[in-house]
Amino acid sequence: MINSPLGTVDILPDEAKFWTIFQQKARDVFGRYGYVEISTPLFEQTDLFVRGIGEATDVVSKEMFRVISGGNLEKVFAGEQIKAKSNLSLRPEGTAGVVRAVIQNGMLPQGSAPLKLMYAGPMFRAERPQDGRQRQFMQIGVECLGASEASIDAEGIIMLMRFYEALGFDTKKLNLVLNSMGCPKCRANYRKDLLEFLKKNEKDLCETCVERIEKNPLRTLDCKDEKCQKVLDGAPKISEYLCDDCKNHYEEVKSLLKNSGIKFIEDWKLVRGLDYYTRTVFEIQSGDVGAQDALCGGGRYDGLVKELGGNDTPGFGFALGYERTRLAMKNNGFEFEPAKTCDYFVAIASDGAKEKAFEVAQSLRDYGCNVEIDHQNRSLKSQFKLADKFMAKFTIIIGEDELKKGELCVRNMETHDQENIKQDKLFAFVEGKL
């Protein structure tokens, strides 16, 4: 017996229907804001993630799964170098791939309306698995390219809240945590002062933070260690370093959110784990999914398109984790109402009716109905049980009597009302015209 790899789960039919509904609701809500779907490869050249997400991030330095194509396998085993183009990795997130696709396919908006894209699918990170943290997980994300205005950020966050409402969340119970990370200009000054502060306090920081001082000092801010957090409370705050443009941008995002009744918590320590962010960053946190409480994260990335070889084009986006959102739903005690999938169950009341029943089932399917039929010669009683299990809306019973009269007996499974209709009136019945 070979089990699934560590940190992966099978999405079994009972759960798969929720993933389908989840995507449908996202398409519906995000579609109202003009987002259209894009699908990019599950693996890309490793360099895309190194340049896009940042070499010093945990995601790139520790968590990527490498992909080695058959032809290169022997070379890698022999310790030989493979060409940069053949150095591939499974995507740990969707933004870098979407931006690459947009540049490569000449889709960057040049003075026209911003390009609004959404995607849904698996991402891969070799993290230590725990509740709400997997090595293969599902994300739904959006990316908006070509507009730097604060109203794009506010619109995106409001849209996200509408999506959570559509899922059934009481959004008052979700924490929207907000920060501005400034632009490269203001961040350079901040980085310098933060670095100085960290070096001064090095002896009181945990090993990981000490490691991060030179490599990625901003990441020390979201260290989970309580002792570090106490030290970092005294660190310089990015909000005090924002240039006028960044300050005004942030104020406008906050004011648009406030005017739309969206509550948020400001946290100057929110820096996110990917290096591409500029200005607005945010997370949706839910207090009830354990240590992995970020259901969604995102923000603005005005330098990424240029970094990946495109024209200077601003960007904004977010991605939400399916598994964590499902966990939060379960912990809050609500589910989606799964749609009934069986319209008709065709029950065979006598051996002679088998052929007719098969024909009726097929014609209903061709007409567009979802139909189940017994294939295993069950008794009529067991067939009714089966119809209940399938949650059929109607059962069509065909026996000797019906065959003789050219009729069908239709039973409403909710009201238990039963009526006989002529066989040639079946589709009129389906249309509700009888």
Rounded least distance, CB 222 to ligand HAM, Å: 11
Contacts of 235 (CB under 8 A, 6+ apart): 194, 197, 198, 221
The angle subtended at Cα 360 by Cα 359 and Cα 361, nearest 5°, is 90
Least separation in angstroms between residue 323's CB and ligand HAM is: 5
Stretch that binds ligand HAM, among 184-192, 229-237, 312-320, 397-405 (CB under 6 A): 312-320
Would you say 93 or 374 has its CB closer to ligand HAM?
93
Sheet holding 394-398, edge to edge: 371-373, 344-348, 394-398, 407-412, 418-422
Residues 30, 119, 137, 282: which binds ligand HAM (CB under 6 A)?
A: 137
**Residue 284 or 348 having the CB closest to ligand HAM:** 284
Going by their DSSP bridges, the two strands 344-348 and 315-321 should be labelled as unpaired
- 51 binding ligand HAM? (CB under 6 A): no
Q: What residues have CB less than 8 Å from 23, skipping those under 6 apart? A: 120, 140
Left, alpha or beta for 147 (phi > 0: left; psi -120 to 50: alpha)? beta
Q: Which is nearer to ligand HAM, 47 or 127 (CB)?
A: 127
174 binds ligand HAM (CB under 6 A): no
CB of 355 to ligand HAM, least distance (A): 51
Helix, strand, or coil (residue 102) = helix
324 touching ligand HAM, by CB under 6 A = yes
Q: Which amino acid is at 227?
A: K
Alpha helix positions (H), 105-206 = 150-167, 184-200
Minimum CB separation of residue 179 from ligand HAM in Å reads: 14
Of 41-49, 72-80, 91-99, 207-215: span binding ligand HAM (CB under 6 A): 91-99
- Name which of 134 and 313 has its Cβ closer to ligand HAM: 134
For residue 116, which phi and psi values (nearest 5 degrees)? -115, 115
Task: Please state whether 367 falls in left (phi above 0), alpha (psi between -120 and 50) or beta.
Answer: alpha
For residues 314 and 321, which CB has a smaller minimum distance to ligand HAM in the complex?
321
- Given candidates 52, 54, 97, 141, which one binds ligand HAM under the rule CB under 6 A? 141
- Enumerate binding residues for ligand HAM (CB under 6 A): 93-95, 125, 127, 132-134, 137, 139, 141, 143, 273-274, 294-299, 301, 317-321, 323-324
